[in-house]
Amino acid sequence: MNTTDFGQLGFLRVAAVSPQITIGDVAANTATICQQLSMLANDGVAIGVFPELCLTGYSAEDLFFSESLLQGVRQSLTTLCHQSPLPLLAVGAPWRLADGRLINAAVLIGAGRILGMVPKTYLPNYGEFYDQRWFSSGFGINETEVSQDLGTFHVRADQLFQLGDLRVGVEICEDLWAPISPGTQAALAGARVLLNLSASNELISKAEYRRDLVRMTSASNLCAYVYAGAGALESSKDIVFGGHCLIAEAGVILAEGERFSLQSQMIYADLDSERLAHDRGQNKTFSQSPRPTPYRIVSAGPGLPSLTSLCREFSQHPFVPDDEDEVAARAQEVLSIQATGLARRMQAAGTEKLVIGLSGGLDSTLAVLVARDALEKLELPGENLCALTLPGPGTSGATLANAKALADALEISLQVIPIDAAVTQHLDDLSHTGDHDVVYENAQARERTQILFNHANQIGGIVTGTGDLSELALGWCTFNADHMANYNVNASVPKTMIAYLVRWYAQHRSSAALSKVLGAVLETPISPELIPPDADQISQLTEDLVGPYELHDFFLYHFLRNGSGAKRIFSLACLAFGEQYPAQTIKHWLGQFFQRFMTQQFKRTTLPPGPKVGSVSLSPRGDWRMPDEAGYKHILEEIENLL
């Protein structure tokens, strides 16, 4: 039985609701909201967001001046304080201040009381909007409300509401459209989640603009954004409302509701608060931005509520898009980055020739495709790509055949230089015992690298590296052998993505002959081929030794991209791979990942240059700087205690 509390791992469930409303009937609207609050609570929602002026209807117009309407709002808020089961509820209501000004407010309710009111700052008074007829702007408002029925609370825009260590900011509709929005100020003051209570009407193309605005606001502010729009039961006298609800996180739309429904609409999403905190700490543009005057912080509860399940999915292959169209676009982009980087490196080195070791495996296959693209970019002939295949004691007939067929299909020359005699001589010089140990394996890898570099000197070229990001993370490369090159085009491409790139190339950019060869490469087991084959079959399978690359790429992504700890990575991996790998297997390989990652930094410290293609890279000159001697036993102890 899964007893993971995802709330302790930084997740919380939020909802945006567009309820059925009756314009001007506060009691009826309150009853509708209370019914929906029960549903939200049953579904584990921590924060519920309702639209702008939802207690009265946004389109109540001059009814906002009605004394009975305003008194009804007070009674409604009393009811919601008593009945709301959510840690944090945001509803929209008109509110009259003690000095007589009427404001359009977001009312934040939690722990049985009003926590505070946030007034709308930017009041549209153009086109179809006449907000300034009824309301005063929130600019400069800083009032303390004291009453017997609703207690004491503050009315001001510069306040945040805190659940545990999570701070929540609020803005209302037009505020989002401002050049420097109150939400951005709240984010800079510490809000990781922004709520928007809105009543944005529908026009041609406005939904797309609104969606992009919400998405990009969440991206630029490194936050989550929960947007609840007024629904179709608002007045349609001159404009129509659609009830648009959106939830975004760091530039990605997590949930979006149906527009134009005459029924209540409700959307959920589980926000990753821990990931947002990590991104803000890492992004120095955000951290260096000027902060506003300190905000008032209002406690809404001691911590994030318990969450025993997640309603968001985690891809097994986070480096690879799920959508096929996006895979195609991503593949072209990655290949262009790799080829452009290599072409520029050739210009800098003053060479027109490339040397590459072609093993017949996946990594060198992608590298040779990139190398050919680089030559085309420089308008150089394919004969300037000098491929060498260097069969040794561990080489199987299948991979040697792959290398030869690949060279034929690409119409490039291929030199076959066996290394058996050179390796034997070297091992004899060392008085090696003949065991298939690390010396035996590494001697082959270093002999190949020596030949590649010396041949590059011979023809005035540079060596194109082939090792991938996954191998670098695990240290699955021989120091000063396949670890080294003049320029490594695969340095930040993980193994799972390399397979997708080669498959895409076979489907979209290959002749029939090349496509057939690439298919054979994709079917070849991953192996360093440093142990003699068994009856000409590969006897050394990488994934049997270090674990499935799809697991390691998952671990790597969440560790580097999101800063996740071992317990969190394990829990997410169990969600993603639960039907494919037992929890004990995931735990085992997670321990192997951290042990290898932490002990192999010395190889990454001396990496050759290579192009960064995604958000994760291990370049010691860029994304990842780590001491070679970092401790890691505490991580392994945490993993040992997971089950």
246 beta partners: 227, 256
Sheet with 224-229, strands from edge to edge, namely: 252-256, 245-249, 224-229, 193-198, 166-172, 159-163, 296-301
Of residues 54, 120, 171, 202, which has the active-site annotation?
Answer: 120
Report residue 518 as tokens: 């690439």
Would residue 120 show up in a list of annotated catalytic residues for this protein?
yes
* Total residue length of the chain: 643
| 546/150 Cα distance (integer angstroms) | 62
Element (H, E) at 113: strand 113-119
What are phi and psi for residue 163, nearest 5 degrees? -110, 110
Give the integer Cα–Cα distance in Å for 8 and 307: 8
3-state DSSP helix/strand/coil % of the chain, to nearest 5: 40, 20, 40
Instruction: Using the structure block, give the residue that is written with the tokens 């002959």.
Output: 513
What are the angstrom distances between the C-alpha of 530 and each of 28, 348, 526? 76, 34, 12
To the query of whether residue 386 is one of the catalytic residues in this protein, the response is: no
Residue 531, phi then psi, degrees to nearest 5: -115, 135
d(CA 81, CA 634): 46
Strand 265-272: give its sheet, edge to edge.
142-147, 151-156, 113-119, 102-110, 88-96, 47-49, 11-18, 265-272
- Comparing CA positions, the residue from 51, 36, 39, 47 lying closest to residue 7 is 47
Q: Which of 54, 81, 171, 173 does the annotation list as catalytic? A: 173
Q: How many CB atoms lie within 10 A of CB 170?
A: 30
Structure tokens at 630: 């970092």
Helix ranges restricted to H, 221-295: 273-282, 284-288
Element (H, E) at 95: strand 88-96
Of the candidates 617, 642, 629, 474, the residue with the CA atom closest to the CA atom of residue 566: 642
Q: Is 173 a catalytic residue?
A: yes
Q: What's the chain's Rg over C-alpha atoms?
A: 30
Query: What's the distance, CA 120 to chain centroid?
Result: 32
| Annotated catalytic residue within 52, 202, 441, 447 | 52
Quick check: 207 and 220 in contact, CB under 8 A?
no
CA distance 556 to 550: 10
Closest CA to 195 of 10, 17, 76, 9: 17
- Residue 267's SS3 state is strand
In angstroms, rounded to a whole number, what is the distance separating the alpha carbons of residues 443 and 427?
A: 8
> Which residues carry out catalysis?
52, 120, 173
